[in-house]
Structure 1
């Protein structure tokens, strides 16, 4: 069975590392997808410059002054761009109910630790790796999951185990996982595009 290309939208607050890897994979024909739109809540986000350089339409929608209006505008922008699957690439704002409802089970996030044990509000970036090291577990994980109303509680789409090496610190574990996350996101999206990884 031949599936149509994934129609992707991206949300990024800073560099958008996963978005960059995904767009490069699309350009290199390693991923059967279309980059339809990037939205950032931060006008100075480097991700916006990358999008401009690669011909990806982009938009800045600040969220702090009027979150409800920003939610409605975000949802409308994604719809207008024909986005079918939304990729969070370091988006540091909670999504609103309008966007969550319209793109139910179609918003993906990547988390740098095992879920649900090392997730939840405030658990992002180095905090996750500090908690993993403190817990003394033998392995961490990269988890790609669907986004819902609760932080890091949506169904998990794909996992990749990452061993905690002897002598690892939060910094060394973070560096290793940061390098693995973007290609893992590309691989997971390609499996979704091929139909071997199915969303609900």
Structure 2
């Protein structure tokens, strides 16, 4: 039986596409569904290109069981958050124990929590003069960025780096390490 992944994303979906590419011809794991909270998100075009169904949930879809019904209908057994900007419900966390993972563009516990995503994180890292940043892959619980850490990867930051330079360095780590980490988690 193949493990069926749903990727949740709110925007462009470059991480989601890296994951789709990684598992495209995998023998035991497939990306079976893309879930978003935005109809206009570019992730839907990426999903169509890969012939993967995509679904946009309603504003209340996280709390009212809508998402869980869609996941069940698509026989999803693992959930990946890749640039998804909504909080996951306790019900969903309980229905997928240790089967929901997120990638955060900083070395948690620093620069986590509500509102800390994307460029907000990189701006804070640069403003505080950090000498390194990176990624944290972690399990998801009912609180933003507080689930158990699975792995972290770092990159050096020099004083002359712009926020955009830091973003690109971190994105390279995300594209390199996230999909293989998902594979290890599922296969253990």
User: TM-score, with normalisation over the residues of structure 1?
Assistant: 0.85
Match of 1:75 in 2: 68
Alignment correspondent of 1:132: 125
Residue 96 in structure 1 maps to residue 89 in structure 2: yes
The yes-or-no answer on 1:149 pairing with 2:146 is no
CA positional deviation for 1:98: 2.1
Give how far 1:135 is off: 2.5
**What residue in structure 1 maps to residue 42 of structure 2?**
46
Is the contact between residue 3 and residue 30 of structure 2 (CA under 8 Å) also seen in structure 1?
yes
SS in 2 for 1:83: coil
- 2:153–2:173 contact (8 Å) kept in structure 1: no
Counterpart of 1:198? none
How far 1:153 sits from its partner (Å)?
Answer: 0.5
> Conserved in 2, the CA contact under 8 Å of 1:32 and 1:193?
no
| 1:1-200 map, 5 Å | 5-27=2-24, 29=26, 32-63=28-59, 68-69=63-64, 72-195=65-188
Deviations 1:102-133 (A, max 9, x none): 11221111111110121111111112112222
Query: Across the two proteins, how many residue pairs are aligned to each other?
Result: 188
Gaps of 5+ in 1: 196-200
Distance 1:76 1:137 in 2: 43
How many Å separate the matches in 2 of 1:6 and 1:67? 23
Distance in 1, Cα, partners of 2:56 & 2:115: 24
> Which consecutive aligned stretches of 4+ in structure 1 deviate over 3 angstroms post-superposition?
none
